[in-house]
Structure formats: structure tokens, C-alpha cells
Copies of this chain bind each other. A is one copy, B any other.
Amino acid sequence: MKSGIVDVTFGRDVTVIEPANLYGCEIGADCFIGPFVEIQKGAKIGANTRVQSHSFICELVTIGTHCFIGHGVMFINDRFDAGGPAFEDKDAWLPTVLGDHVSVGSNATLLPVKICDHAVIGAGAVVAGDILEPGIYAGNPAKLLRPLDP
């Protein structure tokens, strides 16, 4: 099978650099999607958000407006809570919700979490828990480095 752009709902003036594998997702106006990106069905990306090269956005992810998703960022919807992948048992999958103006550094990894508006995730961080106040978070697992006044 070939990668491609299938059943995607685009806002106006979206740029996608191919090859990309986008299917069944919603991408808001004025978004930029870099090369070598996969976005799965049901994912929603708000207007004016950038998704840089090599990133993967899975089912059950919702991203707000004016967000920046760096290069090589991986979202996850399965915590392997039963000791391995839930596979087609989608009741075991969990959602991720990013607010607006969220920035995620390159090579960061996001377990299923909530992240509030104006949070900044450092490069290479592994985010395993919710982030509920604006600030800069980094490390594995990610911890607050310093709060931000939004």
C-alpha cells in the first residue's frame, strides 16, 4: 500500500509536504504539515498549528490552535496498561488533548495526557502525566523546570 492523503478535512491554506500519511483526520486553516508525517483517523488539529517533519499523531489526539509540534514527536494512545498493546481493544485507548499555544520540542514523546494552554515541552522529553499549568517541562519523565506567565 502507498502512503497518501485520504479522507482528510482541511481548512483553507493548509500546506502539506509529501510524502505524508494522513487519513480520516481534521486539519484546521493555515496549518503546516512537514514531510514524513503520519496523522491517523479521528485526530484533530486546530488552525495555525505547525507539525514538523517525522512526527506521528495518533487516533484520539486533539491539538489546539497556534501549537508547534517539533520534529520526531510521537503521540501515544495506549499505555500498555495490561502489560502490552491493547491492539483492537479500543476501549483501552486513552485520549490526548493539547490546548492552544502549546509547544512541543523535537523528539519528545507524549503518553495519553492533557496539556494546558501555553505549556512548553522540552526537546527529548517524555510526558507521562497531565500538565495543568503553563510552564517549561523537560526530562524523562518530564518535570516542571520553570513556570511561565502566559
Inter-chain contacts of A139 with B (CB < 8 A)? 140
- Give the nearest-CB partner of A19 in chain B: B19
Instruction: Give the total of A residues in contact with B, Cβ under 8 Å.
Output: 46
CB distance from A72 to the nearest CB of B (A): 5
Copies of this chain present in the complex amount to 3
Query: Which of chain B's residues has its CB closest to A18's CB?
Result: B2
Q: Which of A128-145 contact B (CB under 8 A)?
A: 136, 139-140
A51: Cβ under 8 A from any B Cβ = no
Q: Is A92 an interface residue when CB atoms closer than 8 A count as contact? A: no
Contacts A56-B54, A84-B68, A109-B107: A76 and B123 contacting too (C-beta < 8 A)?
yes
| Residues from chain B with Cβ under 8 Å of A118 in the complex | 83-84
Contact A71-B84, Cβ < 8 Å, known A123-B111, A123-B126: no
Q: Could you tell me the distance between the alpha carbons of A83 and B148 in the complex, rounded to whole angstroms?
A: 7
A132–B117 Cα distance when bound, in Å, is 37
- Interface residues in A66-88 (C-beta closer than 8 Å to B): 68, 70-72, 74, 76, 80, 83-85
B residues less than 8 Å from A68 (CB atoms): 84-85
Q: Name A72's closest neighbour in chain B (CB-CB).
A: B74
Contact with B along A94-120 (1 / 0, CB 8 A): 000000010101110101000000101
A selection of 6 A-B contacts at a CB cut-off of 8 Å is A2-B17, A56-B72, A83-B120, A84-B118, A109-B124, A111-B123
**Besides A3-B17, A54-B56, A70-B74, 10 other A-B contacts (C-beta < 8 A):** A1-B16, A3-B35, A17-B21, A35-B38, A38-B54, A54-B72, A72-B74, A84-B101, A85-B103, A105-B109
